Chains A and B, each alone.
Chain A
Amino acid sequence: MFQVRIHGRGGQGVVTAAELLAQAAFDEGRHAQAFPSFGSERTGAPVVAFCRIADTEIRVREPIMTPSAIIVQDETLFQSVDVFNGLLPTGYVLINSQRSVAELGLLEFGSTERFVTVPATELAMEHLGRPVPNAVLLGAFAALTRVVSIQSVIDAIGKRFKGKLAEGNSAAATAAHDFVTSALGDQSKEKTHA
């Protein structure tokens, strides 16, 4: 079972992101369970949503405490939330930031091929005209983990949104996917040379 924990701030759409990811997995014929961290949600407050993906029925209903991957929609969360809590040693980390992992001072938390940053807010502004990074990050997530394909992410976006919102989010998600693919490619090249 692959377990994803999505950290963000109220209004950034953590629940939508978790549901889009679940939809993408469902469309690939797998079982998925997305759910919010239940509480009084306030705009700007730290919030969490979860998504489990498995090949068989998912029965467990506990919160995800040992995630296989975390997605951080807002880099300012590091000051107030222990987003890495319980992350598996083999876990993936995806952070919405213009800065690199080293620039964020987070190198100690993961190996580079499983730990990337992507400027999702900027990509959302460019393609969508709105600073909403949630769906965009799923494109990057597909490139980083390959748990779902970018096509399934785009299809899920198409089911959730209409018209320009769907087009913009799909374009931004694709751009984020390409960004991460190329970043990971550069890393593996550097390794080969080293």
Chain B
Amino acid sequence: MLKQIEGSKAVAEAVACCRPEVICAYPISPQTHIVEGLSRMVKSGELTGCEFVNVESEFAAMSVAIGASATGARTYTATASQGLLFMVEPVYNASGMGLPIVMTVANRAIGAPINIWNDHGDSMSQRDSGWIQLYAETNQEAADLHVQAFRIAEELSLPVMVCMDGFILTHAFEQVDVPEQEQVDLFLPPYVPRQVLDPANPISIGAMVGPEAFMEVRYMTHVKTLQALELIPTVAEDFTAIFNRNSGGLIRPYLCDDAETVVIALGSMLGTIKDVILEERERGTSIGVLGIISFRPFPFDEVREALKSAKRIVVVEKAFQLGIGGIVSENVAMALSGLPIRSYTVIAGLGGRPITKASLHALFDEAVRDELKPLTFLDLDQELVDRELIREKG
């Protein structure tokens, strides 16, 4: 149903339609509204057959999620920022044990310094945790990706993180066609677990594996993760057939086909970038943008195909590897190996710094003239940094 609704509430309603059986969460802004909404639905009886477990920490949240999922329950949780870091140990266990937990990460910066605002530092730190990572561009996509995430997770027996920009999406009150129960029931079959912890038929999950087989187990998880590259587009097609709209998939090109310059980005900044690209096109600039939805697994072939005729690419990302540079750009570079394409990395929007149209226009104009530095920090106050560096030297 088409509604004017807060992003978090839309996600809560979409998750409720997926008939989760266990939801556990420790509230952390900005995802609090999601689990608040779900806890209300459980208490009021609107969401039946679901146990809401209030836990004492994020570590406990993921631990409870692992226990619940291992007994065969469809399980959901949500977190962000320091909360995600606090649950890291069980996050790895969930993927290692092949448990199809779905978790929202309402993206937020990681301290220190303390910062409550949006960037991708939290989920990017978990890019190698063995979870599938999908990044939502809009609240519509955030709601839809959650519905798709349960299918992807359960078909592969792997956990899925749905990443949506904290505050920018979670707190935006806008139009969302919220998935309805009948549609979701058509799309998402009941969860049939591959193995179940059951006292009547005891088994071990996540037991010790020695040097003779650990590598094989990890490799199997790698292979399963790669299978998502085939599954994610299929699931998106099935979704379109039932819900009559496009959401999800691996990548989303916009005005890319003939573009000499292609911008690459993840998440909600794609909206602002698209507006800028359209204005640049009207001025005669040959430019487009490629949105990456599935960051893990990384769709190397699709990215290479979409970018193969570009002259240059500009990867704009909301996180970076200190001492190295871009994270997304490093992955894109792997996809473009051997192609004669100039590449620029732009770190933007850290700790909630607004990514403005004016700054993007200036940035893309510089890129098109090949005057951009290989690694640029958008709107960085260089003078302030230089002054501090001198002061620290004493």
Contact = CB atoms under 8 A, between A and B. Distances in A.
Contact of B172 (A26, A33, A40, A62): A33
Given A23-B4, A26-B4, A32-B4, A61 B173 contact: no
Given A35-B168, A63-B354, A58 B272 contact: no
A38 B117 contact: yes
A84 B26 CA distance: 41
B354 to A, nearest CB: 5
Contacts of B269: 61
Interface in A61-87: 61-63, 65
A35 B173 contact: yes
B272 A60 contact: yes
A60 B175 contact: no
Interface residues of B, number: 24
Contacts, number: 65
A62 B358 CA distance: 10
Interface in A1-55: 18-19, 22-23, 26-27, 31-36, 38-40
A18 B271 contact: no
Given A61-B271, A62-B355, A38 B167 contact: yes
A22 B117 contact: no
Interface string B1-41: 00010100000000000000000000000100000000000
B357 to A, nearest CB: 6
A169 to B, nearest CB: 18
Contacts of A34: 172-174
B352 interface: yes
A10 to B, nearest CB: 15
The 8 tightest CB contacts between A and B, nearest first, are: A59-B271, A26-B4, A38-B167, A34-B173, A19-B173, A62-B356, A35-B172, A33-B174
Given A22-B4, A38-B168, 15 more contacts: A31-B174, A32-B4, A33-B173, A34-B172, A35-B168, A35-B172, A36-B171, A38-B117, A38-B167, A39-B116, A39-B117, A59-B272, A59-B274, A61-B168, A63-B354
B118 A32 contact: no
14 contacts: A22-B4, A22-B174, A32-B174, A33-B172, A35-B171, A36-B171, A38-B167, A38-B168, A59-B275, A60-B271, A60-B275, A62-B355, A62-B357, A63-B354
Contacts of A31: 174-175
A70 to B, nearest CB: 18
